[in-house]
Amino acid sequence: MIDWAEIRLFNALGRTRRRMVYGRLAKRPMTVAELAKGVSVSRPAVSQYLKSLKDARLVEVSVVDGRRLYHADPAGLRLLRGWLERAEAVAKVKPGSGGG
């Protein structure tokens, strides 16, 4: 069965600039303008990165004093952690041991 949430997660993290944006949001909430300054790309490009990250449940948005603040969403990290734990369990099974 295809897990589309995992596919969205890995697609979102598959691009360097999206990872850069996510890394900055993991430190503190920011607006699109603040994020655009830090990655030397246009605001529309940053908005597209944020859409991908939001679709992957890696980013959430809150409105504070009329400003849209983006911040890291722990739900995406839980999904990633679950995938890593399953991958680690598979990797621990030795070939030919019948453990899988």
The yes/no answer on whether domain 4-89 falls in CATH 3.90.1150.10 is no
pTM of the complete model: 0.81
- Give the domain ranges of the chain: 4-89
Single-letter code of the amino acid located at 60: E
**CA distance to 22, 23, 69, 75, 91, per residue, from 81 (Å):** 16, 16, 25, 10, 15
Q: 45-55, pLDDT tens digit by residue?
A: 999 999 999 99
Q: How far apart are CA 21 and CA 27, in angstroms?
A: 10
For residue 2, what pLDDT band results from cuts at 50, 70 and 90?
confident
**Mean pLDDT, all residues of the chain:** 90
Question: What is the amino acid identity at position 51?
Answer: K
* pLDDT > 70? residue 99: no
- Type and span of the H or E element at 59: strand 59-64
Q: At what angle do helices 32-39 and 16-27 cross, to 10 degrees?
A: 130
Does the pLDDT value for residue 100 go beyond 60?
no
pLDDT tens sequence across 27-50: 999 999 999 987 788 999 999 999
User: Between vectors from CA 90 to CA 87 and to CA 96, what angle results, nearest 5°?
Assistant: 155
